[in-house]
Amino acid sequence: MLVRYHAGESRVWSVVQIPTVEQEDRRQLHRELRMLKQDHVRVTNRIRGLLATQGVRLSKVRDVGALVDELRLWDGSSLPDGLRARLRREWEHAQFLHTTILELHRQRSRALKHDGSPAVAKIRQLLQLRGIGENAAWVYVNEFFGWRQFRNGKEVGAAAGLTPTPYQSGDVCRDKASTRRAIDSLAILDGLHSRWAALRRSLDTDAFERSFYHPESQENVPLWRALAYYVWHARHHTAQIEWVKHHKLS
């Protein structure tokens, strides 16, 4: 196969592009940022969950370490000692993550101002476009355009998971990109539903008469109508999924 490739048969295999040590090192910052932000969300959610098990709700996770002695159970008693100690440790962990995230943001900002490498020059160029921020520009360049060589739009789509990526192993044959997109879409729907559920629990009946301005319809929409539309929309898409599952299996 090697002889055939060097003889001109370019389609005999696919050549894998490997980043240099420096290019791979540049990918560490935004990947660490992503993981730290995910960890911070997990810790703050764990703090909310620990308090919720005791019937205590916080609208915003703020200085829990200072508030933990002031929080009270339903009967007016203070939180158990073990729970208070754990909450303090969790809050210290959240503060550590927050401080580290801020430091990485400052490190990235310094690089954008003073780094003269071609990759950072591309990031500065992307930042001139409206709607592109530091996070997106940094990821686009360091994961896509900083070291990969794309020959056509299909290769860009494949790298981003937007085009089919066939996978076959034994009797298993599926599209990895479609599976990934389906998982991401379900995660978005799950997050949206969770937000609606949290909003619904926090409001009384009168609050649903409040309205917000919808930029597309250019009118004030009451919350009860928005909730009713969301319920209809969710049932509509659920019916579509069930139809596809039925016809695919039958």
Domain ranges (residues) in the chain: 22-148, 175-249
Question: Range with the lowest mean pLDDT among 6-20, 64-78, 188-202?
Answer: 188-202
Q: Hey, what are 141's tokens?
A: 């360049």
Q: Give Cα separations from 82 to 49, 85, 200 (angstroms).
A: 15, 5, 32
pLDDT in tens, 212-237: 877 667 788 888 888 888 788 878 77
The yes/no answer on whether domain 175-249 falls in CATH 1.20.120.450 is yes
Q: What is the DSSP string of 97-156?
A: HHHHHHHHHHHHHHHHHH--SHHHHHHHHHTTSTT--HHHHHHHIIIIITT----SHHHH
pLDDT bin (cut points 50, 70, 90) of residue 108 is: very high
Measured between alpha carbons, how far is 33 from 187 in angstroms, rounded to an integer? Answer: 20
pLDDT in tens, 142-181: 988 888 888 877 777 777 766 666 666 666 666 655 555 5
